[in-house]
Structure 1
Amino acid sequence: MKKALSIATALVVLGVAGSASAQDTPAFHCEPGETYYMNVMMSGIEYWKPVYEMFEQAAHQLGCEAEFTGTPEYDVNKQLTSFEQVLVRSPAGILLHPMNPDPFVEPINRATANGTPVVTFAADSPNSNRVAYVTSDNNREGRAAADAIAEAMGGKGTYAVLENPGQDNHDRRVKAFIQRMKDKWPDMTLAGRAITNQDPNKAYQAVSSLAQAHPDLGAVFMPEATSAIGASQAALEADQNIKVMCVDVNAKVLDLIKAGDMFGAINPNQGIQGYMGFMALFLAAHPGLIDPMNDYKRTGKNPFSFPLLDNGFSMVTPENADDFRWNEYKARRDG
């Protein structure tokens, strides 16, 4: 009986669709085979999963196809190669997390010139012709982290930072963090800076060395989650009550925060990044949907573009850490 009802329903739908004119087709809908890609560096990072989950949902809601691509290495040349491999597939659009801004200027501009819009997310290539940038405010994240640490330390103490020079969003977070300490918390002293490039072993060694050199070290901040694993281990072994804080989370970081072995983390709203990133790409790929009151017809420029969409962020603490677990989120989404 259920099977018969399903077939009857399908025939009704097909009959309605068959009798409808082309004008009845929803404007916000993809053509068959219209595919949008998400391209990242270090494709195994857990951060990308909820971003792509909502990127894919937005695609399916509009009858589009979505694909995830990237490279497993922290290597800008390998990500550039993966980006070029996507271009060969004639994508409708690309949501891109560029490892470094400048190397991607030429390929983004070439893609755009050939009719493939590019939207950046979480990290930008501001000198390129990307049509939009979706991110949490990296400067606001750095300032919020500085305030949280300084307040917890009573506004006085010594701190250090771990960093990954050259990655735009990470550089902004670190710079904002240090500047906030200088401007608002003058009694907070910077003990040192160490380059870890998202390597937990380098982070472990860096924090161990910093703790030995500065017995009064009270906090360490880093702009990503991978380094936090090594940093927190070194902090625990140093037994100096060092508050470790990062941006982004993964399962291990959440475990550490929940157990009280890490001070906390700031997590961008990844799902909003993915969803709004897709919507921006779709609108850029379908400029006929938009007719703004400007000179786009005279200049020939795509009428859809915006410099920044802030997806917001959350402060992760022991109390709410479980709300950011990927497995539970995915199970809920699949259910």
Structure 2
Amino acid sequence: MRRHKKFCMLWMLLLFTLCSCSGAAPIQSEWGHRAADTSYSDAAAMKRSDPLVFGIIYPMAHPFYEKITESIEAASEPYPIQLIVKAPDEINLEQQIRMMETLMKQKVHGIAIDPIDPEALAPFINKAVQSGIPVVCFESDVPGSERYSYIGSDPLKEGTLMGQVIDRELNGKGMMMIEGSLSGSPQQSQRLEGILQYMRKQTEIQVLDIRYHNGNSELAIADMQHMIDAHPHFDALVSLDMISSTSSILVWKSQGLKRYAVTFGLTPDVKEALLNGQIHSVISANEHLWGDKIIEQLLAAHNKIPSTNWIDTGYMEVGQRDIPNPY
């Protein structure tokens, strides 16, 4: 009997010791579901105390990019990821380059950038990649660089669709004006080329004026007012970028214009303007998909999965009928 009690006490002591030892070891947490198509096989081996740090660089601070940040945060939530989000107050190439250099010095694990000037940023993208930091481009591409992949649509085809939309609304005849931000932007140049090619081949629509505001919203408003004064009988205005579209909304409100206004990019203020009738149609690059794709591509690049080069998010026309009315 005494031996039996002693044996039980020894057995309980052994169990307590084993449990204590196993509890002292660090516990590796699961990441949850994987991002689509990343094949991130060692996800469960990563610890939440050791997060991956990804930098996100926008061309400027804007409510549109705040929505993109929200989608990136949602996509990264299942993973041990820390985000560093940067954006110049307004379009500023020098600031964007400094932000790129800062992230390189911080030795982040990956960078996603919407480049202001692809040619100027190519050397900095290459420098990051050569230092072991993969770079993903979104919205605007830097095809001549060593970037891992590009997330976005084909701007030439976006422009062609815009031409078709204007042709439909004006019945192939009329006069239009165009406002953009940067004349040297490959994205906007290709959008414009798609529009002009379609107009020349398929319509009798005349392009009265093309202006650029270089990222200055006050200049964009002044440009539009000057064009309206110079061409009071115009039929349509095309905005090639977000600043131009926001400025056109303000001009339409202040002047009570009923002319046809179209733009690229489904920003929060454009959604409201669609409902209110200041904007009539938008060409969207399916921006709601960018957050998932950015995290997917950064994880894939970090895991050294071969690049798919271009993640085509497609494009579509969005009109008033496609926006749910919150009222």
Please give the range of the TM-score, normalised by the shorter of the 2 chains. 0.7 to 0.9
Distance in 2 of aligned mates of 1:177 and 1:205: 23
Larger Rg: 2
What SS does structure 2 have at the residue aligned with 1:41? coil
What SS does structure 2 have at the residue aligned with 1:98? coil
Displacement of 1:285: 1.0
| Corresponding letter in the other structure for 1:312 | G
| Corresponding letter in the other structure for 1:183 | K
Distance in 1 of aligned mates of 2:154 and 2:297: 18
What is the TM-score of this pair, normalised by structure 2?
0.80
Contact 1:203–1:228 under 8 Å retained in 2: no
Find 1:56's aligned residue among 47, 69, 73: 73
Distance in 2 of aligned mates of 1:219 and 1:236: 15
Distance in 2 of aligned mates of 1:317 and 1:220: 16
Find 2:276's aligned residue among 259, 277, 291: 259
Displacement of 1:245: 0.9
| Corresponding letter in the other structure for 1:156 | K
The 3 A distance-change label for structure 1 pair 87 and 247 is same
1:27 equivalent to 2:29? Answer: no
Displacement of 1:239: 6.4
- Structure 1: gaps (5+ residues): 1-10, 291-303, 326-335
Alignment of 1:160-175 (within 5 A): 160-163=177-180, 164-175=182-193
Deviation string, structure 1 residues 109-156 (Cα, Å, up to 9, x no partner): 111111100000001112110010001221222111111111011111
What SS does structure 2 have at the residue aligned with 1:48? helix
Alignment of 1:319-334 (within 5 A): 319-322=321-324
What corresponds to 2:216 in structure 1? 199
1:305 equivalent to 2:307? Answer: yes
1:78 equivalent to 2:95? Answer: yes
Find 2:149's aligned residue among 110, 132, 135: 132
What corresponds to 1:226 in structure 2? 243
What corresponds to 1:156 in structure 2? 173
Contact 1:36–1:64 under 8 Å retained in 2: yes
**Pairwise CA RMSD:** 2.7
Displacement of 1:18: 7.1
Find 1:210's aligned residue among 208, 227, 250: 227
| Corresponding letter in the other structure for 1:253 | V
1:38 equivalent to 2:56? Answer: yes
| Corresponding letter in the other structure for 1:166 | G
| Corresponding letter in the other structure for 1:318 | Q
What SS does structure 2 have at the residue aligned with 1:61? coil
What corresponds to 1:104 in structure 2? 121
1:317 equivalent to 2:285? Answer: no
Contact 1:211–1:238 under 8 Å retained in 2: no
| Corresponding letter in the other structure for 2:285 | P
Alignment of 1:248-287 (within 5 A): 248-287=265-304
The 3 A distance-change label for structure 1 pair 256 and 133 is same
What corresponds to 1:190 in structure 2? 207
Distance in 2 of aligned mates of 1:236 and 1:150: 25
Structure 1 residues 108-117 or 56-65, which shifts more? Answer: 56-65
Distance in 2 of aligned mates of 1:48 and 1:73: 12
1:177 equivalent to 2:195? Answer: yes
What is the TM-score of this pair, normalised by structure 1?
0.78
The 3 A distance-change label for structure 1 pair 129 and 26 is closer
Deviation string, structure 1 residues 168-225 (Cα, Å, up to 9, x no partner): 322221221222211222x111111111234333232222222232233111111112
| Corresponding letter in the other structure for 2:81 | C
Structure 1 residues 311-320 or 123-132, which shifts more? Answer: 311-320
Contact 1:215–1:240 under 8 Å retained in 2: no
What SS does structure 2 have at the residue aligned with 1:312? coil
| Corresponding letter in the other structure for 2:43 | F
What corresponds to 1:47 in structure 2? 64
| Corresponding letter in the other structure for 1:310 | D
Deviation string, structure 1 residues 75-97 (Cα, Å, up to 9, x no partner): 10011001111111111100111
Contact 1:248–1:267 under 8 Å retained in 2: yes
Distance in 2 of aligned mates of 1:40 and 1:230: 20
Q: How many residues align?
A: 291
- Identity fraction in percent: 20
What SS does structure 1 have at the residue aligned with 2:183? coil
Contact 1:39–1:68 under 8 Å retained in 2: yes
What SS does structure 2 have at the residue aligned with 1:67? strand
Displacement of 1:275: 1.2
